[in-house]
Amino acid sequence: MADEIIIYGTSWCGDSRRARRIFDDYHIPYRWVDIDEDMEGRKFVESVNNGFRSVPTIVFPDGSILVEPRSTELKRKLGVDSEGV
* The pLDDT value given to residue 81: 74
pTM for this prediction? 0.91
Average pLDDT, the chain: 94
Fold of 6-78: Glutaredoxin (3.40.30)
Tell me, what's the pLDDT at 1?
A: 45
Q: Which of 7, 27, 29 is nearest to 19 (CA)?
A: 7
pLDDT digits 0-9 by tens, 36-46: 999 999 999 99
Q: How far apart are CA 23 and CA 29, in angstroms?
A: 7
Q: pLDDT (tens digit, 9 = 90+) per residue, 17-27?
A: 999 999 999 99
